[in-house]
Amino acid sequence: MSSGIRKCAECGQPISGRSDKKFCSDQCRFLFNSDVRQKTEQPILDVNKALRKNRSILKSLCPQGKATVRKEVLTSMGYNFELFTTIFITKSKSVYYLCYDYGFTPLREGKIQKALVISRQSYMKHRDPWLYVKDDIEKKDYSI
């Protein structure tokens, strides 16, 4: 058993009591764990914030359930095209990028990039992600 003075992991004050005690008080334990949680959770919080912003943008552009807008409109409003919650592929192979209950599919009219913005439809549930994947695993070498 070590006879050295143990110090609080948060504030550095001496600790008395149980040998496995790491903090001098509940406040220091809370602050330490809060800092750790903040550092590990921040990327998740940032993504969730961006997803909520994307949803809000789509909702504002789609008050009637469906609307077509230029890509520049989405970009100017701060839409992040890299973040979405779901991909939905229709039977005709159109791809919809959804943020919770709103989404869009990219369109092109000549050189003009547009988006058909929609609210999520009831048929957009329970799709199999492997529906359009070709069975060619035997042809590929996945060895390391």
State the total domains in the chain. Answer: 1
1 in a structural domain:
no
Range of the domain at 122: 33-130
Q: What are the pLDDT digits (tens) for 69-120?
A: 999 999 999 999 999 999 988 888 899 999 999 999 999 999 999 999 999 8
Note whether residue 75 is domain-resident: yes
Q: What is the pLDDT of residues 16-64, one digit of tens each?
A: 888 889 999 999 998 888 887 888 888 999 999 999 999 999 999 998 8
What pLDDT does residue 125 have? 73
pTM of the predicted model as reported, rounded to 2 decimal places? 0.67
Whether 142 shows a pLDDT value over 80: the answer reads: no
Q: Which amino acid is at 114?
A: K
- Paired tokens of 8: 């609080």
Residue ranges with strand state E in the chain: 66-70, 86-89, 95-99, 102-109, 112-119
Buried b / exposed e over 108-138, threshold 16 CB at 10 Å, is eeeeeebbbbbbbeeebeeeeeeeeeeeeee
